[in-house]
Amino acid sequence: MQVAQAAQIQQLAEPPVRKRPSLASTRDRQEAVAAMTTDVKLLLAGCAIALVAGLGFMAFGPKPAPVPSLLGYVDAPPPPRPAATPEPKPPFKLPWWR
């Protein structure tokens, strides 16, 4: 009898653990879809179709032609470097000039 009462008191002392609700339940999604106008639904459907078509084209579309390897081909060298300009010299002697 005392064990049963102790278990009952222990159960009442601990708060029940509640499961955290999901961010978007099924009912919330259904309400959101029901609240959308037809043009928004068509826009979402068009975006989904375009996304699937684009991914399908990238995965299963035509492959680009391979670039032929050119063994022995050498690019032209860069143009010659222009001659360096000499440091400027003043036409007459200045005390602060090197």
Under-50 pLDDT residues of the chain = none
Domain annotation covers residue 34: yes
Angle at 12 between CA 7 and CA 13, to 5 degrees: 95
Domain annotation covers residue 9: no
Domain annotation covers residue 39: yes
In contact, 90 and 97? CB cutoff 8 Å: yes
Please report the sign of the dihedral spanned by the C-alpha atoms of residue 87, residue 88, residue 91, residue 93: negative
pLDDT at 73: 67
Domain annotation covers residue 33: yes
Domain annotation covers residue 15: no
Domain annotation covers residue 85: no
What's the domain count of the chain? 1
Domain annotation covers residue 67: no
Name the pTM for this structure.
0.41
Domain coverage including residue 42: 28-58
Domain annotation covers residue 46: yes
